[in-house]
Amino acid sequence: HEDSFVEKIVSHLREKTSNTQDMRKLIHSAKVGAALVLISFLYLLDPLYNQVGDNAMWAVMTVVVMFDFYAGATLGKGLNRGIGTILGGGLGCLVAYLAQQVGGIGNSVIITSSVFIFGAGATYTRTVPRIKKRYDYGAMIFILTFNLVVVSGMRAEKVLEIARERLSTVGMGLAVCVFVSLMVFPIWASDELHDSTSSNFINLANSLQGCMEDYFRLVSEKETEPSATSFTSCKSVLNSKAKDELLANFAKWEPWHGKYGLYHPWEQYLKIGELLRELAASLISLKHSHVSHEAINQRAMRISGVFSSVEPQRAWGQHKEDEEM
């Protein structure tokens, strides 16, 4: 029974590997599994566990949250996490130290008000579109670290010690993520953006050609078989904006690799995408106007047909009227 289940999975996997997109998903899944195994050695091997202790938890968390499909997304999240942790931790230590100096009721007041002010302030920056686009994750990590450091600073004696240990384990998690993501079968957002832009060009060209062929076909042919051109590719181009922007955003984080240099003009891809979407819109309405044109012609023919069949009727009616007169 179990054998047949395993066989099923294997045959399913074999089927999937024939498709490039599915192949990449499988590779990504295996990479995440491998990164998790690597980081769980912090718990499994005694010498490592004696070093980090329960803080190993933070390394596991970093890997789970950070590992993304594209190498650029992983790198971007990693940088955001690093900067957010350092800024939040530093500011948290400072506020905790100030509160300890004041002492008494002032301690609680300072901590509560700083939690509110920094929490609300950082959340407001997250709603600004430009910051949201690239630094949303960093702002979230800043709020998280700041809060944890400030409020646990009240209870724990050695805030700096805790901060240092957590920072080092987060660093380990980052290192494992970056290593596995970039070194083992990396999946680049830049390749994806380049390929999708070029395939959009090809799809639109095919649609345009199909449109012209439709237009210049003989009328008799048109009646026997309807238009063969499919406009699904045009529609998918129309809706490509969000995905393109995401990919360009990831691609900017990616280092020099393959044919793409460090300052590859990713903004240009977005401009080309904008123009391609306009072209797709024109193509779709070209198609519509072509179809409606035909419909008008056909209706006109049908109407004239009706008229020619009505004519004798009216003549007959007149004839009758003549008789009644």
Q: Which part of the chain contacts a copy of itself (CB under 8 A), choosing from 37-45, 170-178, 199-207, 258-266?
A: 37-45
| Shortest reach from residue 160's CB to a copy of itself, in Å | 17
Report which of 94, 147, 91, 92 is spatially closest to residue 119, judged by C-alpha positions.
147
b/e burial code for range 69-85 (CB count within 10 A of at least 16 → b): bbbbbbbbbbbbbbbbb
* Residues 149 and 167: beta-carbon distance below 8 Å: no
Closer of 64 and 160 to a copy of itself (Cβ): 64
Q: How far is the CB of 102 from a copy of itself (least distance, A)?
A: 15
Contact 286, 210 (CB under 8 A): no
List Cβ neighbours of 65 (8 Å cut-off, separation of 6 or more). 77, 81
Residues from 117 through 176 that contact a copy of itself (CB under 8 A): 117, 119-121, 123-124, 127, 140, 143-144, 147-148, 150-152, 154-155
Identify which of residues 241 and 302 has a Cβ nearer to a copy of itself in the complex: 241
Residues between 222 and 241 with contacts to a copy of itself, criterion CB under 8 A = 238-239, 241
Nearer CB in complex with a copy of itself: 238/264: 238
d(CA 152, CA 288): 64
Of positions 60, 167, 270, 272, contacts a copy of itself by CB under 8 A: 60
- Burial profile 289-317: b = 16 or more Cβ within 10 angstroms, e = fewer: eeeeebeeeeeeeeeeeeeeeeeeeeeee
d(CA 296, CA 287): 14
Which parts of this chain interact with a copy of itself (CB under 8 A)? 25-26, 28-30, 32-34, 36-37, 40, 43-44, 49, 54, 56-57, 60-61, 64-65, 69, 108, 111-112, 115-117, 119-121, 123-124, 127, 140, 143-144, 147-148, 150-152, 154-155, 238-239, 241-242, 277-278, 280-282, 284-286, 288
